[in-house]
């Protein structure tokens, strides 16, 4: 379906930490059209700074009694737009264009999904998790952040049967290192998992199960960490 351009009202803004928040927008027209992996272009309405909208992955689709009512955005405060998003309150208006971008390709059992998320790069994976669960696909998520306090929604994913492999840069939760350890030669996260697959003793489990690695999101995780 083509994207739509709307003024969305802020329904809620949950601050997860001093920089992260989840902004809920009344945007049923966008929410109904959104597929996992797509994003919206947003900026607070009526301001000239920022002049241009910024891209944000759709984090969750909001529903009331099964009817789509809006969407949420997981945002990390780093610049002018994300600061305004962090400070937004109920009733504020946000210009929202979307959904945009190519959605994920979903996989069915016996293929498993491996998801790699770093920091705010978690955002596209709530909708993906729901879509994969509906198909009965097993999900492992390699999820890393700077500290344990910046690992969000762990229970949300666990409740949906997602196997979590956690890494933190300070070692406070899970393995110490970056989730993209393979690229840096570090020990944790997807790096160890992929590395293990190429060791002879790990070859059987690797080949007995066909796994799909969502590598374009590995790229995204690196960009957004």
Ligand X SMILES: Cc1cc2nc3c(=O)[nH]c(=O)nc-3n(C[C@H](O)[C@H](O)[C@H](O)COP(=O)(O)OP(=O)(O)OC[C@H]3O[C@@H](n4cnc5c(N)ncnc54)[C@H](O)[C@@H]3O)c2cc1C
Enumerate binding residues for ligand X (CB under 6 A): 39, 50, 54-57, 73-76, 78-82, 120, 123, 224
The residue whose two tokens read 């009965």 is: 136
Q: Which residue is nearest to ligand X (CB)?
A: 79
Which CB, 121 or 188, lies closer to ligand X? 121
> In the bound complex, what is the minimum distance in angstroms from residue 123's beta carbon to ligand X?
3
At its nearest, how many Å lie between ligand X and the CB of residue 135? 24
Smallest gap, in angstroms, from Cβ of residue 205 to ligand X? 33
Judged by beta carbon, residue 53 or residue 192, the one nearer ligand X is 53
**Residue 153: helix, strand or coil by DSSP?**
coil
**Residue 207: enclosing H or E segment and its boundaries?**
helix 203-208
In angstroms, give the least distance from the CB of 201 to ligand X: 38
**Is the Cβ–Cβ distance between 17 and 77 less than 8 Å?**
no
Q: Which is nearer to ligand X, 70 or 194 (CB)?
A: 70
Q: Which of 127, 149, 117, 121 is nearest to 55 (CA)?
A: 121
Q: 73 or 139, CB closer to ligand X?
A: 73
> Cβ–Cβ contacts within 10 Å for residue 192, how many?
18
Q: How far is the CB of 15 from ligand X (least distance, A)?
A: 13
Half-sphere exposure (CA, 13 Å, Cβ side) for 84?
Answer: 19
Q: Which of 75, 129 has the CB closer to ligand X? A: 75
Residue with smaller CB distance to ligand X, 42 or 190: 42
By CB atoms closer than 10 A (0-12, 13-18, 19+), residue 116 is buried
Name residue 98's beta-bridge partners: 4
- Run of H or E residues at 64: strand 60-64
Output the smallest distance, CB 178 to ligand X, in A.
Answer: 14
Within 10 Å of residue 212's Cβ, how many Cβ atoms? 15
């Amino acid at each position: 379906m083509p994207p739509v351009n709307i003024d969305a009202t802020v329904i809620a803004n949950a601050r997860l930490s001093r920089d992260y928040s989840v902004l809920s927008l009344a945007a049923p027209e966008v929410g109904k059209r959104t597929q996992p992996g797509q994003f919206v272009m947003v900026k607070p309405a009526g301001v000239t700074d920022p002049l241009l909208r910024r891209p944000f992955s759709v984090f969750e689709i909001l529903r009331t009694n099964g009817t789509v009512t809006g969407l949420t955005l997981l945002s990390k405060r780093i610049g002018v737009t994300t600061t305004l998003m962090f400070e937004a309150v109920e009733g504020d208006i946000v210009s929202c264009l979307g959904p945009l971008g190519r959605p994920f390709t979903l996989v069915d059992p016996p293929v498993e999904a491996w998801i790699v998320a770093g920091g705010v790069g978690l955002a596209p994976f709530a909708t993906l998790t729901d879509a994969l669960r509906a198909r009965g696909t097993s999900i492992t998520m390699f999820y890393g952040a700077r500290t344990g306090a910046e690992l969000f929604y762990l229970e949300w994913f666990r409740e949906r049967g997602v196997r979590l492999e956690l890494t933190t840069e300070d070692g406070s939760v899970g393995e110490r290192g970056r989730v993209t350890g393979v690229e840096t030669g570090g020990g944790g996260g997807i790096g160890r998992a992929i590395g293990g697959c190429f060791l002879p003793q790990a070859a059987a489990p690797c080949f007995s199960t066909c796994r799909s690695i969502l590598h374009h999101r590995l790229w995204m995780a690196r960009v957004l960490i």
